[in-house]
Structure 1
Amino acid sequence: MDGSQGGFRLETGATGFWHAGEAPLREVEVGRCRAAWYAAAFAAGGQPGDFVERAYPYDFHSATVIDGAGGRHVVLFHAHQPLVAFVEERKHGYTDEFLEPPAWGVAAFGDAGFVVPSAAQLLSPLGEWDTSVLSAAELKQIAYWGPRTLGAALFNAWD
């Protein structure tokens, strides 16, 4: 996922949309997400909380990690790209609720092959990002839903 803005680039499928006549988007295996979640909990000196697989219209799974000090962290796993984000609580969609990932999260998820964008990246205006590889279906949904931030376009529940 190299490219724009500090080693991170939007890829086709980043919004979770495609045209019915096109091949379905690739999926990040749920088992891979779960394995990384367990590794992250171990790295945090804590334990995994719960894991909720995505259901329509979400394009992300969510999980909680309880760190060694008892802190609760909500992790979002993008369903089509190996991306992970941290938020304070589970919600229907996100705009400006993204948190800076903890060091253990960056290390553990990075070791598992996931990209962990910073809060600054996720909160940056979508217009600052190269969207040229997104499909026509994705660009249409962006125009319709009007996400202002990168994170809002990536972690959505658009239908």
Structure 2
Amino acid sequence: MNVEVSQIAFRLEAGVTGFRDRGDPPLPRTDPRTCRAAWYAAARAAGGQVEDFTEQEYPQNFHVATISDRAGAHIALFHAHYPLIAFVGDRRYWYTDEFQEPPAWATALTDIGYVVLSAAQLLSPLTESDTSPLSATERRQIKHWRPQTLGATLFNSWD
């Protein structure tokens, strides 16, 4: 039986919002140095150059990086807790529906072990995702901030 990717619900792992319950273990971390090294490898694959890599700062739960190539600037968000990457059109404090399709060279990032998310995934309604692993704290944050999309939930600046 063939199942289309769009029919498979994205599973949000515990801590993916950047929040946890007090008694829970610390959230996993994506090492910024590893992210930066992956970004330089992607720049080589793109035939471009790294413009910058900005590490996550509270309350954002993502690092931001830019590569410039012949097609222009490409801005990526590296999730601070899981190896997830989203592409966006410009730098903002937080994101709701500004997600873009990754460039073809983004496969260099998947080859290193990152999950590069498509615009369709990121713009899909949060209600279509599997949120069962999320903690009570994360559910309260979602209820408070009311993100409409998967992307707005994964890459946020909630405090």
Q: Shorter-chain-normalised TM-score: which range?
A: over 0.9
Maintained 8 Å contact 1:82/1:113: yes
Distance 1:153 1:95 in 2: 8
Q: How far off is 1:117 after superposition?
A: 1.1
Identity %: 61
Maintained 8 Å contact 2:121/2:150: yes
Report the equivalent of 1:122.
122
Maintained 8 Å contact 2:9/2:128: no
Paired residue secondary structure (1:66): strand
Distance 2:109 2:140 in 1: 31
**1:29 counterpart letter in structure 2:** D
Which residue of 2, 20, 34 maps to 1:18?
Answer: 20
Q: How far off is 1:23 after superposition?
A: 1.6
Report the equivalent of 2:87.
86
Maintained 8 Å contact 1:126/1:153: yes
Maintained 8 Å contact 2:87/2:102: yes
Change (3 A) 1:11 1:5: farther
Runs (5+) with no aligned partner, structure 2: none
Change (3 A) 1:32 1:5: farther
**TM-score normalised by structure 1 residue count:** 0.92
Root-mean-square deviation (CA), in Å? 1.6
Q: How far off is 1:111 after superposition?
A: 0.8
Report the equivalent of 1:39.
41
Report the equivalent of 2:99.
98
Q: How far off is 1:21 after superposition?
A: 2.7
Distance 2:137 2:146 in 1: 14
Runs (5+) with no aligned partner, structure 1: none
Distance 1:88 1:132 in 2: 31
CA deviations on 1:75-132 (whole Å, 9 max, x unpaired) are 1000001000000111111110000001101x11101100011100000000010100
Report the equivalent of 1:154.
154
Maintained 8 Å contact 1:92/1:157: yes
For these two proteins, the number of residue pairs brought into alignment is 155
